[in-house]
Amino acid sequence: MALVFLSSGQRDGERELAAQIKRAIETEFRMDCYNADSRQGFDDVMSIVDHLSRADYYLFIDFKREITADNSIPISVFTHQEFALARAWGITEIIAFQETGLKSYGILHYVLAHPISFTRENLLERVRKEVGKRWDKDYSRNLVVDRLEASSPDQLIQFTDHTGTSLERTWFLYVKNRRGDRPAFNTIAILYSVRNEANGKEFRPDSAYLKWAGQMGFQKTIFPNDEAHFDAFSVRVGQHGVFTHSAADVARKPIINAPGKYILTYQIFSESFPSITAQVKLEYTGPYVLLQQLQHSETGAELVR
């Protein structure tokens, strides 16, 4: 799910509206929402910075405050600092609201000419309208699993590792780094679980790191606005079962033995990026067979999430 960073004041009246907005985003639009409602110490501030750096969407609520002896400007300084960081970190999906009668201060004056005006009575409905119109719960500006592709059935791959050599067709999952400012260091992928659709039974494979295509290692750096693909699974010639290319240091055993329909769930982890999950629907029909001509297995797969 997309992560929304809600940047809002936390004084009386502001805090209650922020809580309502957070609840609406999570329950009505099915997105994660981080509302920084605690700033008690260093750890709280660092948590705010971490969530903001990973956010997909940024929602800015600029409340008008009364000028007093203790408060010389009518805004929340924290929210304006967060707005500056969001811009600096390249967050482009921003919706900004400004309470009626409030002037634009600081960086807001220069980079956002027309924030959406609101009153406290209509703020929640205005947020609902704008979020529903502009944002998608499946969007991410970080790492995404973009597609599933298979090697050509007419050009099978000869794969060799410490367990031996086999002739196979391999399916690859492509992972795209949508960030323009940050490489995804030490990216790893695992096959987290396999579920048999016929009986509903789910089991965990060895969860060893899966191989990235084109390299020997099991960790990969995905550069900004670039992509890489790892070996999701393979079907071999003359051998029953579905196999993975992983860091397992034992004899390679199939993860699936019997023909049928399965759901394979993968998890991808990387430094400084949120983890992501992808599911592949696999219909395994049996091994490839080599006679005088190649007889293709009808095994097929599609990316479902």
Instruction: Kindly report, residue by residue over 57-73, the tens digit of the pLDDT.
Output: 999 998 987 777 776 67
Report the C-alpha gap between 301 and 305 in whole angstroms: 12
CA distance 12 to 2: 28
CA distances to 19, 110, 145, 196, 259 from 190, in Å: 36, 45, 13, 18, 22
Show me where the domains of the chain are located: 3-134, 143-303
Q: Taking the model in full, what pTM does it have?
A: 0.76
- Say yes or no to pLDDT of 251 above 70: no
Taking residues 235-248, report their average pLDDT: 86
CATH tag, 3-134: 3.40.50.450
CB 240 within 8 A of CB 257: yes
CATH topology agreement for domains 3-134 and 143-303: no
Instruction: Return d(Cα 189, Cα 194) in angstroms, integer.
Output: 15
May I ask the CATH architecture of the domain 143-303?
Answer: Sandwich (2.60)
In the chain, what is the straight-line distance between the N-terminal and C-terminal CA atoms, in Å?
11
Closest-CA residue to 186 (of 223, 142, 145, 220): 220
Angle at 218 between CA 228 and CA 50, to 5 degrees: 70
pLDDT tens, position by position, 149-168: 998 877 787 887 777 778 88
Sign of the dihedral defined by the CA atoms of residues 237, 240, 244, 250, in that order = negative
SS3 annotation, 250-281:
CCCCCCECCCEEEEEEEEEECCCCCCEEEEEE
Alpha-carbon dihedral 201, 193, 169, 230, rounded to 10 degrees: 170
